[in-house]
Amino acid sequence: MSRRNVDLPPLNCLQTFEAAARHLSFTQAAHELNLTQSAVSRQVKRLEEDLARPLFYRLAQGLSLTPAGVRYFRTIQRLLRELDRESAELRRRGADRQLTLASTPTISSIWLAGLLPQFQHEHPDLDIRVLCSESPSHLDVSEYDLGLFYHLDELPAPHGLELSPVFASEQVITVCSPGYLARHGPIRDVQHLLHAHTLLIVEDHYHDWLTWADWCAGVGADYYTPRHALRTNSYQLVMQSAVMGHGVALGWKSLLDGEFAAGRLQMALPDALHSQGRLHLMQPLHRNPPAAARSFQQWLLAQHSEAGDICTSL
């Protein structure tokens, strides 16, 4: 029976040394690792004793790496990066049975959640995980197999991702619940909407978000501040409020087909604006998609191809 390599240093000290060398501060390393400053200092000292040479110059104005410390820091960073990549890959593959989808909370709740039960029924051997984030830029591509996010057609793809539009085209419309119209009466036109009804408005929107002013301009109507509005920084809350009958929201028609079919939402006005952004399937580059991801792609295409609302380039 072979023993482990006896020349390995104390492994629990390596991450501590890497953090201290990156920050050139025991205090900042302690904060990052949730340790005390003295614990960091002790672990670094133990590593230096094991290597029989100093890794830091301890100066009055702070820390500085010795030549040996610089070489060791570069080696440890390289090894930790390789270990991180390999660990992420193994977790992703966890097997071909696991599929991780990334999407926004809104898309996940009002569109994806309606699709997944059928997909899981047809693929009972798969374990599905949904990772919610407002933007793919907030995630590392190693965290998921496929993303589903809206993206403006004229913008380049986010770094490290290959994009395929899900819907061939998309229309932005006004939506509300049937109950809202039953209580408040029909909406005659945009001016009547702004004057007599409650607009559900997203504040703190991203640069690619469509506002009510944009929509009105697009359909050829004058916009002014509505008399009644409910404002929030969450589009998910806007859509929940629309379903609950609290007002009128802007909605992406293809994304809301399930809500229309279930009778929870309907168009408030017949006007529609062609959206410059579409829902895209985002696949990390430079990585072969796992079997579960390929199965989901093929299933999604089959689900929507008959309706003619999905791009065949998927």
CA distance 43 to 182: 69
- The predicted pLDDT at position 307 comes to 47
Map tokens 């050829």 to a residue.
220
Name the packing angle between helices 37-51 and 11-23 (round to 10°): 110
pLDDT for 2 equals 44
- Of 39, 18, 15, whose CA–CA distance to 27 is shortest? 39
Asked if residue 229 lies in contact with residue 199, where contact means CB atoms within 8 angstroms, the answer is: yes
Rounded Cα distance, 164 and 167, in Å: 9
Tens of each residue's pLDDT in the chain, 314 residues: 344 556 788 888 999 999 999 999 999 999 999 899 999 999 999 999 999 999 999 998 889 999 999 999 999 999 988 888 777 766 665 556 789 999 999 899 989 998 999 999 999 988 899 999 988 888 888 889 999 999 888 888 888 899 988 888 889 999 999 999 999 999 999 999 999 999 999 886 554 568 899 999 999 999 999 999 999 988 889 999 999 999 999 999 999 988 999 999 999 999 999 988 889 999 988 777 888 999 998 898 877 655 445 444 43
Closest CA to 145 of 80, 95, 111, 81: 95
Residue type, 138: H
CA nearest neighbour of 249 among 261, 231, 262, 263: 231
- pLDDT, residue 140, reads 85
Phi and psi at residue 170, to the nearest 5°: -145, 140
Phi, psi dihedrals of residue 98, rounded to the nearest 5°: -105, 135
pLDDT of residue 231: 93
